[in-house]
Every structure is written in structure tokens, then in C-alpha cells.
Amino acid sequence: MSQGKRAFFFPGQGSQTVGMLGDMIGSEALVSSTFFEASEVLGYDLLDLIANGPEEELNRTEKTQPAILAASVALWRLWQEKQGAMPDFFAGHSLGEYSALVAANVIHFKDAIKLVETRGRLMQSAVPVGEGAMAAIIGLEDADVIAACAVSGDEVCEAVNFNAPGQVVIAGTAKGVDIAMAAAKEKGAKRALPLSVSAPSHCALMRPAAEQLATELSMIDWRVPSRPIIQNVDALAHSDVEILRTNLVEQLYRPVQWVRSVQFAAQEGVVWAAECGPGKVLSGLVKRIDKSIAVSALEQPDGFAQALTDSQG
């Protein structure tokens, strides 16, 4: 490990489950106290929602985003408390970029909780439930997915998450996504799977939400990050606050370049990364993108303990 760099990757929407981080919440006071802190900001019991659901409520965009952010920051705080090795880079997948900003001391946790709740509401108000959709296209080259989206004609449909080789998410109007899914199957996609989301992220339909989000972002304190943050929109590491903020706004309606982000980390010498948040989605993606990066998931006590050892190398 002394020859390589480390990164912390924070997951985005879709990694939430009822009961997530249950073992950590039960055994680590710092984890539960982070959820209590978030609850004070939100005005409802976030810990109860995470522990008991209902799932439909947790999956509402404006509830999902604070829940994942709080879970991710809780694990980051615990990592610091346990004196885990510090990373050279931070990165987050979509929503996870806000967790990365908190970890890098760019924005305060309480500000971030308010921001992502607002972000979720803005996203949902931009496209009423049922009018937008997202789908995962499995087994096609990126260019073929983009071509399938073009078939949708006047309907909005775009390739929005380049998650791994052969795994691209599309988003747009419900009709546009249906047309593109059919076109993708005709082009030989192994699967075209509708995603259970309430708003179509990272496509042109989110531009009105992005304009309002820009106003919200301008009203909070920003600081220079403790470590560079690899951002979604350009897959480059940034420490300039103005660039970070601009990219965060554009992230709402531009694609998540996750493949390129992981490749950039590898090119910069990252050999070990932690998935700091609920689930193991990013761990699976990173292994598919670049096997030279070892990934540890922090959501369970045994995995967390192993990661502390692995990070020291």
C-alpha cells in the first residue's frame, strides 16, 4: 500500500434498503448519533424510517437522498474515529458526490442534509411521478445505447449513467425510455430493466431543477477540500470551489461518468478504495472497470474491520 494511493467512493440512490447499517447502528454510538443529527435537521425520525420503513417511504427521492447521505457520513466519521488511513481522493456516484463533499470538509453535514432533501424535491417537482423513467441497459456498447436513445425521436431519452462496461442507465420521459429499451433489445442488449425510481436523473428534464439548485448551493458556506474530489460530469479531480459547485449543478442534467472516474483514479495511482455507504453496488462496478483497484465495503462491522487492516497495507 505504501506504493499506491487510496480513494473513498460514496454510493448514490439505489443503495438504500430498510434495515441498512443495522449492525453498525446497534454497535457504534457515532453512527446512530449521526442519524439523530440528521433527524433534527429534517424534522422527522430518519433512524426509524431506515430501521422500519415502510420501503415505499424510504424510496421517495426526497427521503432516500438524506438517508444515504447520513449513512455514508456516519461510516466516514467512524473511519476517522478508528484512525483509518486517509484517502488521497474522494468521489461519489451521483448523490454520493454530496457525501464526498462533506467528507472533504467542503460543506457542513447539516447543510448537506438540507441540500439533498431539497435536491430530491426539486427533482421530483421537475417531472411528476409516472411521467419520467429510468432503465438499465445490460450488454451493449456505449455507442449502441446512445443510438438506441436517439430512436426515441421527440421524446426525451438519454444515456445518463456510464456505470461499467456493458452497463449503462438511460433516463427521460416514460414513453421515450420505453422506445429506447425496445431499440436496445433489437440491437442485442442482454437485458433492459426498468428501474424503480420516482424521478429521471441526469437528463435534460432536470434542467429546471438544476437552476433552482444553483440558488440553494450559493446560499451555503463552501471551503477548499481537504483532498481532491473526482467529479461525475468530467471524471477529473478538482479542488477549486467554483468548479466543484458548477459541476454539482450540471451533474443534475449531465451523465455520470463513473467508468471514466474510476479509470482516472487508477491512472492517478489509486490501488485501494473503500465503498463508504450502504450496499456494495460500487464495489461490483469498480471490479468490472479496473481490477487493479482493490475495493472494501464498509457497511458491515466485519468488512469495516477488514478494511481498516487492508488500508494500512
Over its length of 313 residues, how does the chain's per-residue pLDDT go in tens digits?
447 999 999 999 989 999 999 999 999 999 999 999 999 999 999 999 999 999 999 988 899 999 999 999 999 999 999 999 999 999 999 999 999 999 999 999 999 999 999 999 999 999 988 899 999 999 999 999 999 999 999 999 999 999 999 999 999 999 999 999 999 999 999 999 999 888 899 999 999 999 999 999 999 999 999 999 999 999 999 999 999 999 999 999 999 999 999 999 999 999 999 999 999 999 999 999 999 999 999 999 999 999 999 888 6
- Pairing mode, if any, of strands 5-10 and 270-275? parallel
Measured in degrees and rounded to the nearest 5, phi and psi for residue 167 equal -140, 100
Annotated active-site residue 292? The verdict is no
- Catalytic residue (one of 39, 202, 283, 296): 202
* Choice among 39, 72, 94, 198 that is catalytic: 94
Q: pTM here?
A: 0.96
Could you give the residue ranges of the DSSP H alpha helices within the chain?
A: 22-27, 29-42, 46-52, 55-58, 61-81, 96-103, 109-126, 142-150, 174-186, 207-217, 241-250, 258-267, 281-289, 301-312
Report the distance separating Cα 285 and Cα 232, nearest Å.
15
198 is catalytic: no
